[in-house]
């Protein structure tokens, strides 16, 4: 048989996460690759899901999502950010942020449109844009004084008459950058000048450190009306397997996205929706404690990686630390991460796979710190053998 996969998806093989996680299992390595926590979410929220199942919340929920969750999201947005979204019409529950982003791109971008994203970028963006027949235009983030950022002139130069939307992920995976108000202002001004829609991926909105606060792009002047604000429960509550996300946006944008979403999945799982509504209303203190714990883990891993000889870049948010591998005498992160399991029994992710210009990320490797302290310590002990 000839290649059955449609041509627009042929550039997308199995993801690096599948490859590296399989390697971790095969070699018995410690997996600091994929960013999932190795501890559970808040117990009462897990109980709420069980209770939802045994008490019969097992049939199709309404297409836009269960009203209780839409209400809880609305209250959370208002309470945290002063953003008002009507539960009825301005909020759509999705199967994780991944579906929210895919449905938004499919609903809002014509074939041939251009979508700007900052590289390194979360891998589903490129696939969603390709599925829509649109074109990803990557603006590169580079370390400046130990923190990844973009050049506003390069961003401006990336806009063409075909540009339809910009994907903005802050706190940013995989660099750990939390965009400042100045960076967001540059993005916001460009969106308004060029008439762009902003699709924001804010799944790490609660996971920021050192007093750095997440600022939603929709809170900047003139941005609420043109922003599709995406978040989800997975990272906030350490339930990445629940795949429950949501979009907040003006009604016309929500209607457009829902038109696509209804034929992808129609609706999202009922029990998780009820449990996440409970979480948003009752477990934000648990989330603060999670965040404090993650800050310690970040520092623990950063110290260890520095001792092992990596140059370490300090993240202000997310679960991830970027390292420059050149001080250890390596130059290619993909080569190194493929050998790392056999060399020392640790799995990490080569950052270059998240670029359209892989040479710009060749010397970076990403490590996740959302792991138990003893797992981080053992990984560090092993990584120290690299320079021994």
User: Which residues of the chain form contacts with ligand PLP (CB under 6 A)?
Assistant: 96-98, 122, 169, 173, 201, 203, 232, 234-235, 240, 243, 245
> Which tokens go with 265?
């999945």
Q: Give the integer Cα–Cα distance in Å for 79 and 71.
A: 12
> Which tokens go with 348?
């990490």
- Least separation in angstroms between CB 199 and ligand PLP: 11
Nearer CB in complex with ligand PLP: 123/377: 123
CA 173 to the chain's CA centroid:
5
Nearer CB in complex with ligand PLP: 278/319: 319
- Least separation in angstroms between CB 173 and ligand PLP: 4
Handedness of CA 354, 347, 312, 179 (dihedral sign): positive
Distances from the Cα of 138 to the Cαs of 15, 105, 111, 150, 192, in angstroms? 19, 16, 17, 11, 19
Return the DSSP state at 173. Answer: T
> Which tokens go with 159?
């806009």
- Least separation in angstroms between CB 249 and ligand PLP: 17
Handedness of CA 95, 93, 101, 230 (dihedral sign): negative
Nearer CB in complex with ligand PLP: 238/323: 238
Burial 309-333 (b: 16+ CB within 10 A, else e): bbbbbebbbbbbbbbbbeebebeeb
Nearer CB in complex with ligand PLP: 235/371: 235
**Selection from 122, 123, 129 nearest residue 169 by Cα:** 122
Q: Give the integer Cα–Cα distance in Å for 384 and 355.
A: 28
- Least separation in angstroms between CB 171 and ligand PLP: 8
Nearer CB in complex with ligand PLP: 206/235: 235
CA dihedral 111, 199, 108, 18 (to 10 degrees): 60
Q: Give the integer Cα–Cα distance in Å for 271 and 301.
A: 35
- Least separation in angstroms between CB 245 and ligand PLP: 4
- Least separation in angstroms between CB 134 and ligand PLP: 18
Nearer CB in complex with ligand PLP: 29/173: 173
Distances from the Cα of 227 to the Cαs of 2, 168, 250, 348, in angstroms? 42, 10, 8, 33
Nearer CB in complex with ligand PLP: 279/344: 279
Distances from the Cα of 353 to the Cαs of 174, 242, 292, 356, 365, in angstroms? 11, 26, 30, 8, 10
- Least separation in angstroms between CB 243 and ligand PLP: 5
Nearer CB in complex with ligand PLP: 97/344: 97
Nearer CB in complex with ligand PLP: 85/320: 320
- Least separation in angstroms between CB 301 and ligand PLP: 17
Residue of this chain nearest to ligand PLP (CB atom): 96
- Least separation in angstroms between CB 264 and ligand PLP: 13
DSSP 123-141: HHHHHHHHHTT-EEEEEE-
Nearer CB in complex with ligand PLP: 27/262: 262
- Least separation in angstroms between CB 345 and ligand PLP: 25
Q: Give the integer Cα–Cα distance in Å for 199 and 111.
A: 17
């Amino acid at each position: 048989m000839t290649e059955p996969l449609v041509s627009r998806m042929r550039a997308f093989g199995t993801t690096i996460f599948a490859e590296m996680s399989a390697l971790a299992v095969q070699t018995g390595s410690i997996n600091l690759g994929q960013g999932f926590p190795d501890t559970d979410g808040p117990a009462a929220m897990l109980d709420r899901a069980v209770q939802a199942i045994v008490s019969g919340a097992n049939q199709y929920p309404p297409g836009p999502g269960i009203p209780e969750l839409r209400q809880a999201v609305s209250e959370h947005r208002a309470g945290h950010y002063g953003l008002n979204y009507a539960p009825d019409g301005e909020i759509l529950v999705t199967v994780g942020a991944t579906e929210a982003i895919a449905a938004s791109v499919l609903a809002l971008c014509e074939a041939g449109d251009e979508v700007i994203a900052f590289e390194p970028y979360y891998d589903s963006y490129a696939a969603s844009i390709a599925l829509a027949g649109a074109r990803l235009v990557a603006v590169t983030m580079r370390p400046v004084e130990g923190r990844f950022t973009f050049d506003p002139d390069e961003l401006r130069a990336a806009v063409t008459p075909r540009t339809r939307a910009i994907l903005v992920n802050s706190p940013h995976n995989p660099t750990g950058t939390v965009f400042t108000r100045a960076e967001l202002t540059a993005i916001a001004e460009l969106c308004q000048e060029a008439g762009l829609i902003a699709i924001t991926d804010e799944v790490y909105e609660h996971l920021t450190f050192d007093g750095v606060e997440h600022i939603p792009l929709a809170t900047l002047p003139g941005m609420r009306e043109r922003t599709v604000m995406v978040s989800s429960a997975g990272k906030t509550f350490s339930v990445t397997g629940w795949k429950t996300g949501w979009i907040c946006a003006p009604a016309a944008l929500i209607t457009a996205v829902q038109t696509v979403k209804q034929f992808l999945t129609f609706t999202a799982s009922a029990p998780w929706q009820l449990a996440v509504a409970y979480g948003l209303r009752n477990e934000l203190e648990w989330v603060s404690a999670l965040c404090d714990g993650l800050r310690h883990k970040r520092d623990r891993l950063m110290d260890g990686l520095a001792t092992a000889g990596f140059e370490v870049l300090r993240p202000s948010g997310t679960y991830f630390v970027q390292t420059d591998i050149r001080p250890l005498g390596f130059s290619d992160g993909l080569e190194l991460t493929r050998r790392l399991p056999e060399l020392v029994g640790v799995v990490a992710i080569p950052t270059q796979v998240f670029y359209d210009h892989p040479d710009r990320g060749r010397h970076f490797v990403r490590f996740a710190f959302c792991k138990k302290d003893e797992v981080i310590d053992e990984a560090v002990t092993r990584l120290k053998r690299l320079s021994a």
